Amino acid sequence: MEKRQSMVIGGNTLEIIATRICDDEWSLCIENIHGIRTEWCEFFKTADAALKAGRRALETDGVEEFISNEGFEYLP
């Protein structure tokens, strides 16, 4: 099960995605328009907590970290 929330910041659209791992464990990632995901190593008790952490990261860290593909290598 997934819960998603789109955010547009400075003309950049990012998708915040919470994915249910088990009853009280949700993972978090932020996906850019190129399909590149930034995954969190920590887990959250609820989908809402995960989405809130994703929003907070975008608001405090800005979008550049999530939209830049510098240094990213596609695997063959």
Nearby residues of 13 by Cβ (< 8 Å), 6 or more positions away: 6, 7, 33
SS3 for 23-70 is CCEEEEEEECCCCCEEECCCCECCHHHHHHHHHHHHHHHCCHHHHCCC
Tell me, what's the pLDDT at 34?
83
Tell me the pLDDT tens digit for each residue of 31-70.
Answer: 998 888 899 999 999 999 999 999 999 999 888 878 776 6
**Residue 75, SS3?**
coil
Nearest to 21 by CA among 2, 49, 40, 48: 2
Tell me, what's the pLDDT at 15?
96
Could you tell me the pTM of the whole model? 0.86
pLDDT above 70 (res 74): no
